């Protein structure tokens, strides 16, 4: 990491992603009813290209005219014009996994626990696939460059996301300095960001129900000029709408608790991108870190 200022440029990889970005950018200018429609579009982009305006309106609990007005508010001539990029994304092809489907069906036939096992596996794999299918690689690269070129990186998560944030920070610390998992013990996120500015990056993580301290910290970070990278479960979440770069993770699970699999996978991928865009010194740092651990006897050596 060095003292270069970060870049806040957004990127898109396909027409539908550009439309979704436009909806997010124009969110605060939309009427409350148009925001309801926009939220459905942001959270269910695959439905837009295959459903009628009436079907989408019913699912979003708005009137069809609201979708038309929403489309016009973000610069389209009408709803058909708005929907076309989503149809184009569909024309580019879908992925099918028939072999895996047969494998899961076979597992599910092995009694109740077998069915739960299969459902859990399907949910976990589905979360990761859905998450990465929608990720803009260009945005990941920009986020990684922002992290590498900044002064400090603050990774914020509370509840279960606190463990995810600390795991990311721990892994990053094997090759980089100035990573801080917040909130620190006995502190609050806004206290930890008190002296941060445009030279710093905040990675904020929260999913429904959105934690107030994370949302507040993101808004304060923006006021102080930080580059904000948001990880949430919806492009319409309060931290995603305020972020410079945002990534949506799917966290469905057959149990009462949301899955962290996609969040962890995304964070690991982001860290991989940071290492990829870093200077050659990162390799030396990682090697030095692990060499020192071996010298201190931290690792149990394998017998010759």
CA–CA distance, 4 with 38 (Å, rounded to integer): 36
Across the range 77-105, mean pLDDT stands at 69
Q: Is residue 304 part of a domain?
A: no
The lowest-confidence range among 30-44, 53-67, 222-236, 273-287 is 273-287
pLDDT band at 159 (very low <50, low <70, confident <90, very high): very high
- Which stretches does DSSP call E strand in 103-244? 152-156, 179-182, 200-205, 227-232
Across the range 225-243, mean pLDDT stands at 97
- Tell me the pLDDT tens digit for each residue of 123-139: 899 999 999 999 989 99
Which pLDDT value is given to residue 288? 79
Task: Assign 170 to helix, strand or coil.
Answer: helix
Instruction: Indicate the pTM of the whole model.
Output: 0.74
Find, among 120, 117, 108, 136, the residue nearest to 17 by Cα.
136
> Is the domain of 72 the same as that of 128?
no
Answer for the pair 230, 199: CB distance below 8 angstroms, yes or no: no
> Is the domain of 217 the same as that of 157?
yes
pLDDT band at 207 (very low <50, low <70, confident <90, very high): very high
> Is the domain of 183 the same as that of 219?
yes
Of 74, 106, 133, the last residue of a domain is 133
Q: Is residue 26 part of a domain?
A: yes
Neighbours of 293 (CB within 10 A): 12
Find, among 149, 152, 130, the residue nearest to 263 by Cα.
130
> Is the domain of 152 the same as that of 278?
yes
pLDDT band at 303 (very low <50, low <70, confident <90, very high): low
Q: What one-character DSSP code corresponds to residue 237?
A: S
- Tell me the pLDDT tens digit for each residue of 37-55: 999 999 988 888 878 899 9
Of 91, 118, 145, the last residue of a domain is 91
Q: Is residue 274 part of a domain?
A: yes
Q: Is residue 7 part of a domain?
A: no
Q: Say yes or no to pLDDT of 112 above 90.
A: no
Q: What one-character DSSP code corresponds to residue 175?
A: T
Q: Say yes or no to pLDDT of 2 above 60.
A: no
Please count the structural domains in the chain.
3
Find, among 249, 255, 192, the residue nearest to 226 by Cα.
192
CA–CA distance, 52 with 82 (Å, rounded to integer): 12
- Tell me the pLDDT tens digit for each residue of 8-25: 333 345 678 889 989 999
Which pLDDT value is given to residue 302? 67
Higher-pLDDT residue of 167 and 254 is: 167
Across the range 97-126, mean pLDDT stands at 69
Q: Please list, in sequence order, all residues whose beta carbon lies within 8 angstroms of the beta carbon of residue 292, skipping any fewer than 6 positions away.
A: none
pLDDT band at 97 (very low <50, low <70, confident <90, very high): very low
CA–CA distance, 298 with 211 (Å, rounded to integer): 37
**What mean pLDDT is reported for the chain?**
86
> Is the domain of 220 the same as that of 264?
yes
Q: How many residues does the chain have?
A: 304
In CATH, what number is assigned to the domain containing residue 186? Answer: 3.40.50.10490
Tally helices (H) and strands (E) across the chain.
Answer: 15, 5
Q: Say yes or no to pLDDT of 101 above 70.
A: no
Phi/psi for 153 (5° steps) reads: -120, 125
Across the range 132-160, mean pLDDT stands at 95
Across the range 208-218, mean pLDDT stands at 97
In CATH, what number is assigned to the domain containing residue 37? Answer: 1.10.10.10
Of 91, 125, 147, the last residue of a domain is 91
> Is the domain of 152 the same as that of 69?
no
Which pLDDT value is given to residue 174? 85
> Is the domain of 160 the same as that of 86?
no
> Is the domain of 172 the same as that of 265?
yes
pLDDT band at 153 (very low <50, low <70, confident <90, very high): very high
Across the range 147-163, mean pLDDT stands at 96
Q: Is residue 8 part of a domain?
A: no
Across the range 26-43, mean pLDDT stands at 93
Answer for the pair 192, 184: CB distance below 8 angstroms, yes or no: yes
**Which range of residues forms the domain containing residue 35?**
15-91
> Is the domain of 122 the same as that of 178?
no
Q: Is residue 1 part of a domain?
A: no
């Amino acid at each position: 990491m060095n003292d270069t200022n970060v870049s806040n440029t957004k990127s898109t990889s396909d027409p539908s992603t550009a439309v979704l970005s436009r909806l997010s950018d124009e969110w605060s200018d939309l009427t409350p009813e148009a925001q309801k429609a926009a939220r459905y579009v942001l959270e269910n982009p695959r439905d837009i290209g295959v459903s009628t305006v009436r079907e989408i309106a019913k699912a979003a609990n708005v009137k069809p005219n609201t979708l038309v007005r929403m489309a016009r508010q973000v610069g389209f001539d009408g709803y058909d014009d708005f929907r076309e990029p989503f149809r184009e994304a569909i024309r580019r092809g879908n992925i099918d996994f028939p072999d895996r489907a047969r494998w899961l069906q076979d597992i599910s036939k092995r009694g109740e626990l077998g069915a739960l096992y299969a459902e859990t596996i399907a949910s976990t794999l589905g979360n990761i696939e859905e998450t990465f299918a929608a990720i803009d690689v260009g945005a990941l690269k920009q986020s990684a460059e922002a992290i590498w070129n900044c002064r400090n990186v603050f990774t914020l998560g509370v509840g279960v996301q606190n463990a995810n944030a600390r795991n990311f920070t721990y892994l990053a610390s094997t090759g980089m300095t100035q990573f801080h998992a917040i909130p620190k013990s006995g502190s609050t996120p806004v206290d930890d960001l008190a002296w941060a500015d445009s030279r710093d990056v905040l990675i904020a993580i929260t999913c429904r129900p959105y934690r107030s301290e994370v949302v507040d910290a993101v808004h304060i970070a923006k006021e102080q000029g930080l580059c904000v990278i948001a990880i949430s479960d919806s492009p319409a979440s309060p931290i995603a709408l305020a972020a410079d770069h945002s990534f949506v993770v799917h966290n469905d699970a057959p149990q009462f608790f949301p899955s962290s699999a996609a969040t962890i996978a995304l964070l690991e991928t982001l860290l991989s991108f940071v290492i990829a865009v870093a200077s050659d010194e990162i390799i030396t740092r990682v090697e030095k870190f692990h060499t020192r651990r071996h010298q201190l006897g931290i690792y149990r050596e394998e017998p010759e």
